């Protein structure tokens, strides 16, 4: 039915699809954790400072850093920080809502509502396509 070259192409397609789905799953794990076990908390800003962040291509970007405390794994307060673009304005009341993953080490924290759908959508799309292709094979 298939010659050797066609079988090799089909096998390469399946391996590539499985690998891409696995990578998308790995990259979406943090987003899934934030979605299901992230806790929203209002924090009091302890310190505000200017900082510089290095980019992937060697450039630098000016950022505004905020320090605050979050509840740690044993209930103690853990000092942590978030960085925002330089143009971001600090809240007037000195408080900020953040979402964090309790029990993670180091603590993973982001501004509340900062959910990134990209890798989760890629994973869901690849998983759906993989399921569709498997169903096609089963029906044959």
Q: Is residue 46 a part of any domain in this protein?
A: yes
Q: Is residue 70 a part of any domain in this protein?
A: yes
Q: Is residue 92 a part of any domain in this protein?
A: yes
Q: Is residue 5 a part of any domain in this protein?
A: no
Tell me the average pLDDT of the chain: 86
What pTM, to 2 d.p., does this model score?
0.69
pLDDT of residue 97: 92
Q: Which domain holds residue 39?
A: 33-115
Q: What is the DSSP string of 101-139?
A: -TT-SSPPEEETT----HHHHHHHHHHHHHHHHHHHHHH
Cβ neighbours of residue 41 under 8 Å, at least 6 residues apart?
A: 70, 71, 97, 98, 99, 100
Confidence of residue 4 (pLDDT cuts 50, 70, 90): low
Q: Is residue 53 a part of any domain in this protein?
A: yes
User: Per-residue pLDDT tens for 81-123?
Assistant: 888 888 888 888 889 999 988 877 778 888 888 778 898 999 9
Structural domains of the chain, count? 1
pLDDT of residue 23: 93
Residue with tokens 């044959």: 140
């Amino acid at each position: 039915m298939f010659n050797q070259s066609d079988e090799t192409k089909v096998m390469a397609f399946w391996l590539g699809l499985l690998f891409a789905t696995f990578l998308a799953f790995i990259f979406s794990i943090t987003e899934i954790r934030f979605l299901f076990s992230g806790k929203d908390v209002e924090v009091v800003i302890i310190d505000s400072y200017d900082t510089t962040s290095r980019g992937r291509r060697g450039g630098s970007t000016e950022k505004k850093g905020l320090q605050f405390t979050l509840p740690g794994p044993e209930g103690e307060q853990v000092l942590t920080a978030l960085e925002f673009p330089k143009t971001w304005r600090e809240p007037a009341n000195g408080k900020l809502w953040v979402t964090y993953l309790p029990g993670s080490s180091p603590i993973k924290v982001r501004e509340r509502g900062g959910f990134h759908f990209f890798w989760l959508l890629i994973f869901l799309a690849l998983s759906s396509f993989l399921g569709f292709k498997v169903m096609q094979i089963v029906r044959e």
